[in-house]
């Protein structure tokens, strides 16, 4: 009998790989936007039609590609981000597998237009189901513009299994949230079916949260912050009354990368203890920073589950950081308007930064109220931890400040802390 094992053709191998990488339109959005970030873009547009069925377009002002690189970028295991095995242990980019573009091009029609600043002309490549249709020089802006059309056009079974527009848009929004919350200094414009969904200027993390999730949530955030030998934790947790039925606004990031971590989630939710009615979930935005050698970002193909060394210790630290924020520091800082403690995005080297005055009611213990009788009943006295002598209105943004214009906004809220020190945004803007 003759031998029976054959090597798969590239296009079949790519389609198999695509099964993992490209689960739905939101996966394409994620991969393309991460590439734009890796290319140093300071401004990224995401344009979606029909929940990604018809069009997913990502336009960036990053460093672009040479004609040869543009062609190479669609090969499987083709990457500019690592070259040897050791590099796997010191990854500084979002991508590194060199699989995304090959996978996307295996299951869609892709047009790539890209130009580097030093090149007079750019390159346009059309590729569909892994077959290059054309490659030609074109006039183009510096940066990269990917159009992905008719996702899964060649795999009817998968196209058919896409969910309703509403569900697919929800997945896309979830991806976009994870990305914009880790890259506040990057401007984003997101357009769904010709309507602007988000228009975000370069800003700080607190402004970004306000502009994405709204003024009401922003006014009800409490900062958390703790530095230890094994983990630094920063971020915001929302007051109990901002809780919601779903868990879509629970964000953990580690070293500026989104992660899903049920065990740490428990650390946070259990800190709210009796403050939340049954079935309600707290909203939080928590950024962990650890030594990269203590985590394994490689255990899951879509890279959102991350294994930590010392998870139990981190659980305890996280739990007490949230409790402390809710119980003690949670008293809204008494910010006086005379002292100009605003969240001005444009600190300069000459800006004088003064710490805010925080008044704490040492007798107040939010955990001592145990019975929450009916739905949305947050324990009595909860308000008072926040009032700190001021009425709620004192923390409203003046109506004249247009929330669409973050530059004009004054953020009156928790004491400022600076994300600049961790996350790679500052290096980009430097």
Tell me the closest approach of the beta carbon of residue 333 to Mg ion, in angstroms: 41
CA distance 208 to 227: 23
Which 130-159 residues touch ligand ADP, going by CB under 6 A? 144
Helix (H, G, I), strand (E, B) or coil at 260: strand
One residue of 43, 66, 80, 319 binding ligand ADP per CB under 6 A: 80
Residue from 14, 26, 35, 185 in contact with Mg ion (CB under 5 A): 35
With respect to ligand ADP, which residue has the nearer C-beta, 75 or 394?
75
**Closest to 304 (Cα-Cα) out of 152, 169, 177:** 177
Instruction: Name the residue with tokens 């119980």.
Output: 327
- CB-based contact 276:242 (threshold 8 Å): no
Applying the rule CB under 6 A, the residues between 308 and 327 that interact with ligand ADP are: none
Could you say which of 25, 95, 366, 413 contacts ligand ADP (CB under 6 A)? 95
Nearest to 367 by CA among 405, 333, 326: 326
Q: Are 119 and 102 in contact (CB under 8 A)?
A: no
How many chain residues touch ligand ADP (CB under 6 A)? 22
Counting contacts by CB under 6 A, is residue 98 touching ligand ADP?
yes
Q: Does 100 bind Mg ion (CB under 5 A)?
A: yes
Least distance to Mg ion from the beta carbon of 100, Å?
4
Which residues, listed in sequence order, are joined to residue 47 by a DSSP beta bridge?
57, 191
123 binds ligand ADP (CB under 6 A): no
Determine which helix (DSSP H) or strand (DSSP E) holds 68, and give its type and residue range. helix 67-72
Residue 384: count other Cβ atoms within 10 Å of its Cβ: 13
> Would you give the binding string for ligand ADP spanning residues 22-51, x where CB under 6 A is met?
---------x---xx--x------------
267 binds, among Mg ion, ligand ADP, none (CB under 5 to 8 A by kind): none
Using CB under 6 A as the binding rule, whether residue 225 contacts ligand ADP is answered as no
Q: Which residues, at least 6 apart from 351, have a Cβ–Cβ distance to it below 8 Å?
A: 344
**Residues 292 and 237 sit within 8 Å (Cβ to Cβ):** no
Residue nearest to ligand ADP (CB): 95
State the residues that interact with ligand ADP by CB under 6 A: 31, 35-36, 39, 60, 62-65, 73, 78-81, 95-101, 144
């Amino acid at each position: 009998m003759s031998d029976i094992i054959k090597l798969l053709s590239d296009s079949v191998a790519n389609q198999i790989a695509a099964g993992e990488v490209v689960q739905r339109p939101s996966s394409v959005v994620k991969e393309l936007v991460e590439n734009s970030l890796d290319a140093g873009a300071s401004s990224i547009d995401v344009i979606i039609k029909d929940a990604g069925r018809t069009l997913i377009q990502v336009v960036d002002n990053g460093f672009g590609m040479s004609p040869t690189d543009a062609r190479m970028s669609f090969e499987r295991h083709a990457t500019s981000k690592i070259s040897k095995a050791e590099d796997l242990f010191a990854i500084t980019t979002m991508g590194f597998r060199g699989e995304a573009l090959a996978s996307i091009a295996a299951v869609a029609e892709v047009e790539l237009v890209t130009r580097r600043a030093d090149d007079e002309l750019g390159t346009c490549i059309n590729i569909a189901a892994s077959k290059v249709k054309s490659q030609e020089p074109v006039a183009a802006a510096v940066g990269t513009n990917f159009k992905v059309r008719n996702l899964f056009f060649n795999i009817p079974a998968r196209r058919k299994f896409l969910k309703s527009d509403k569900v697919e848009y929800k997945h896309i929004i979830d991806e976009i949230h994870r990305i914009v919350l880790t890259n506040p200094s990057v401007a984003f414009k997101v357009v769904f079916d010709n309507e602007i969904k988000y228009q975000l200027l370069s800003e700080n993390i607190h402004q970004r949260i306000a502009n994405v999730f709204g003024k009401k949530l922003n006014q009800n955030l409490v900062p958390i912050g703790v530095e230890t030998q094994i983990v630094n934790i920063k971020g915001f947790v929302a007051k109990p009354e901002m809780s919601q039925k779903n868990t879509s606004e629970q964000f953990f990031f580690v070293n500026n990368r989104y992660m899903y971590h049920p065990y740490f989630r428990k650390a946070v939710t259990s800190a709210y203890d009796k403050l939340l009615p049954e079935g309600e979930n707290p909203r939080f935005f928590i950024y962990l920073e650890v030594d990269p050698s203590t985590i394994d970002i490689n255990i899951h193909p879509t890279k959102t589950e991350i294994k930590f060394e010392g998870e139990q210790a981190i659980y305890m630290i996280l739990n007490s950081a949230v409790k402390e924020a809710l119980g003690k520091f949670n008293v809204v800082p008494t910010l006086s308007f005379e002292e100009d403690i605003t969240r001005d995005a444009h600190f300069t080297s000459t800006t004088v930064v003064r710490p805010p005055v925080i008044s704490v009611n040492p007798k107040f213990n939010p955990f001592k109220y145990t019975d929450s009788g009916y739905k949305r009943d947050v324990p009595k006295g909860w308000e008072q931890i926040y009032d700190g002598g001021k009425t709620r209105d004192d923390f409203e943004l003046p109506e004249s400040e247009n929330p669409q214009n973050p530059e004009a906004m004054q953020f009156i809220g928790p004491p400022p802390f600076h994300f600049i020190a961790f996350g790679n945004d500052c290096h980009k803007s430097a």
